[in-house]
Amino acid sequence: MSASGSMSARDCGITEQSVATILDEALSSFPKPPLPDGTSTSSLHTVFAHASLTGAWSGTVALRMPVSVASSLTSALFAIPTGEISTVERADVVGELSNVIAGNLKGLIGGGTTLSLPVVIEDDAEATDNRAVSLTGAVVVDFVYPFLGQLNAVQIIEYENSAP
* Interface residue list for other proteins (CB under 8 A): 22, 25-26, 28-31, 74, 77-78, 89, 92-93, 95-97, 99-104, 106-113, 115, 117
Residues 48, 62: Cα–Cα separation, whole Å: 7
CA distances from 122 to 48, 64, 70, 94 (A): 6, 9, 10, 10
Min separation Cβ 38 and other proteins, Å: 24
Helix extents (H) in 41-137: 67-78, 87-109, 125-134
Q: What is the nearest approach in angstroms of other proteins to the Cβ of residue 80?
A: 11
CB of 100 to other proteins, least distance (A): 4
Q: Closer to other proteins at the Cβ: 116 or 129?
A: 116
Q: Which residues contact 92 (CB under 8 A, 6 or more apart)?
A: 74, 120
* Residue number, 105 or 132, with CB nearest to other proteins: 105
